Chains A and B, each alone.
Chain A
Amino acid sequence: MRGEKNSITDVSGVRVGHLTFQRDLEGPSGDMIAARTGLTAVLPSLMEKELRFFFSTYALGAGLEITGFEVTEDFGYLNSPLVITNACNLGKAYNAALSYGFTLKRGEIWPPVIIGLNDSYLNEMDRECLEEEDILETFRRATDGKVEEGSVGAGTGLRALGAKGGIGTSSRRVIIGEEEYTCGVLAASHFGNAGGANGKPPTELTGEDEGALILVTAMDVPLLPHQLQRITRRLVARMDAAIPSESFSDEVLGATFTTANAMTISEEGPPEFEFRSVADHYLEVITAAACRAAEEAVVHSLLQARPVRGRSSRTLETISPERLAGIFKNHE
């Protein structure tokens, strides 16, 4: 069963903000430069309180950047908005996340978790174009309501299966014992563009072909970091198998957090935390819910993606219903 908004924002406290940057800029020699990019932020809660959330990432990778990686691996928690943007704007987004923490007069937001993709097929990616103030505004205005999908935010310049890619979201309810929980996924679809499927190498690999399926999963299920890791690995493996792409240049990256077991942590204490943890044999139920939500989020990301005309007069159209049909065989 889906959540009320069928969105990652069905998980209580989770907010999403998009910054869409779609402009034709004048280049140094009077030529036109197409900027088709943006940023999407998932905020695990109101950032007024210094809360940390158990968090885990896993990638079947092509080498996408995800900052904060070492803290995630070693400490298993998130203390930042989770931001998807293009690789060129990553440093700016990182700095903006730090600034956001300082402006809130809370403890620091550190380390920022920023994922950088390559949207250079439609976007003139060789320059930084987002402004810090706009990124801050995106964090502030992030909504826990309905989330815009398709060619918005980080999805503006994305490309999937030769058509327009984008951002999509979906959610599922999970029943464990007497309790009902929610699991929501936000997907950034940018895969299936390189040749070389079916066991054949691509004839030519360019930067434009660097693909990604990014799955940000939020839930309110009481889980510990190693349990989030198990769920994330399975989710990534299943989605890697499910998408119609066999290319090593497509990365499937899962980034999963739970709002249960959130903590405010400092050297002043408390000395210990009391966490809650669901029994391991429910992990499958949770993973299945995450997979269904992820599949639907991908479908939304493609269906909702209006056509975008970008650099070098390239245009990506919305995927055809025929191409989309049967993309996930298991999908209801």
Chain B
Amino acid sequence: MNRRDFIRTTLAGAAILPSASFPFSVPGLADEGGRKRLREIGIIIGDLAPGPFNAITDVRGVRVGHETIIKGQGRGAARTGVTVLLPHEGNIYEERLFASSFGLNGWGEMTGLAAIEETGLLATPIFLTGTYNVGIVQSAASAYLRKTNPRLGLSGGTVHPVVAECFDDFLSDTSSRPIFAKDVFTAIENAAGGPVAEGAVGGGTGMTSFGFKGGIGTSSRKTKSGFTVGVLVMTNTGGRDQLRIDGAPVGREIRGYEEAEKRTKSIILIAATDAPLLSYQLKKIAKRVALGLARVGAISGTGSGDIILAFSTANRVPRVPPGPVQDIRAVNDFLITPLYQATVEATQEAILNALTSAGTVVGKDGNTSYGIPLDQIERIMKKYRRLGE
């Protein structure tokens, strides 16, 4: 099977199982064929309704693309990739968006952060990848931005692409850095609105979270005023016993699976909204993302790089201003709370979608990260009366 086929099967919801070399029997593999999103199991988080795709792409103009890299088995196996988020349909370098970040625990990398915190503006696409891929992805992102903005580096100044990482070394030989600039360009070409592939895909291919296979997840919420908040995560964090779904201690009650990886290693969370928010307001959105993370049980351990970035697509701030003063819209701070609710709900569901969507992946040295058993989730959620009989 070549790489493209792997991607296709991943998108179809199947597990990445190099079956020929699969050395031992795995309990609960019966449900591996049909990975589902959380809502498809019947589990509803919160009160607000999601947008049409229940994805960050419900924020109009936001596009997401993946490139998944799967090479070899056993020693030196690569299970990695890159996910790109294009914040609007125009040229983000020329037409910037208000943005802000919140570092819940700083043991991680998000390049471009200093410029965002200083200027309050996002001026680049956002890339999610494995830890040691950051330099290569940043370099490719920079090349892409120079190509699409010929003034860049000369009269146009410099740009600082946002590239964030989680450590995917359990499943991937990450120090070999098995990614090339062309993979980054492919991810950009793949970027589209509509449904977003989740689980073991793109930057999430090698991630493990709450003791099971993690990766990319997304969700959205609409507020009564008609605004949308969308969240996209790349999750590699959390211990199995910590996992909670809608308050139920699901992680503690799952039977039979060996915890794949006990060290907690980061989550990157991106929130997008079409509500007109200024950067100080987006800082507050970013903090609410942390609350969503807490509600699925994460405690943000010392080795976890839990970095949150929030942006709004409503106001565009041109790099070359047409005049000295620009009109800017902003939501009344006293009416902003529904956006916080949307953020907390969408964050939880995005993280849980990553888990329920990701099938089992066998990676480097035969290390195995199991897809969380959906039948057991159903059983436990029924026990705690979060699901009807």
Contacts and interface: CB of A to CB of B under 8 A. Distances in A.
Contact of A177 (B118, B280, B324): B324
Contacts of B118: 230
B334 interface: yes
B331 A276 contact: no
Interface in A159-185: 176-179
Interface stretch (A137-145, A188-196, A219-227): A219-227
Nearest to B326: A277
B280 A278 contact: no
Given A226-B280, A265-B334, A274 B329 contact: yes
Contacts of B363: none
A176 B331 contact: no
Contacts of B284: 74
Given A225-B278, A226-B119, A275 B327 contact: yes
Interface string A252-275: 000000000000011101111111
A267 B328 contact: no
Given A74-B280, A265-B334, A271 B327 contact: no
Given A271-B335, A273-B332, A279 B280 contact: no
A102 interface: no
Contact of A224 (B276, B328, B332, B335): B328
B323 interface: yes
Nearest to A266: B334
A179 B325 contact: yes
Given A75-B333, A270-B332, A271-B332, A224 B325 contact: no
A275 B328 contact: yes
A22 B328 CA distance: 48
Contact of A274 (B280, B327, B334): B327
Given A74-B284, A226-B280, A276 B328 contact: yes
Contacts of A176: 324-325
Contact of B278 (A226, A266, A282): A226
Nearest to B225: A271
A280 interface: yes
B219 interface: no
A226 to B, nearest CB: 4
Contact of B326 (A230, A273, A276): A276
A157 interface: no
Interface in B278-323: 278-280, 283-284, 317, 321, 323
A221 B335 CA distance: 26
Contacts of A273: 329-332
A272 B276 contact: yes
A270 B283 CA distance: 22
A224 B120 contact: yes
Contacts of B280: 74-76, 225-226
A177 B326 contact: no
Contacts of A76: 278, 280
Given A224-B120, A226-B280, 9 more contacts: A179-B324, A227-B120, A230-B119, A272-B330, A272-B332, A273-B331, A274-B329, A278-B325, A282-B324
Closest 7 CB pairs of A and B: A177-B324, A226-B120, A279-B321, A76-B280, A275-B328, A267-B334, A226-B279
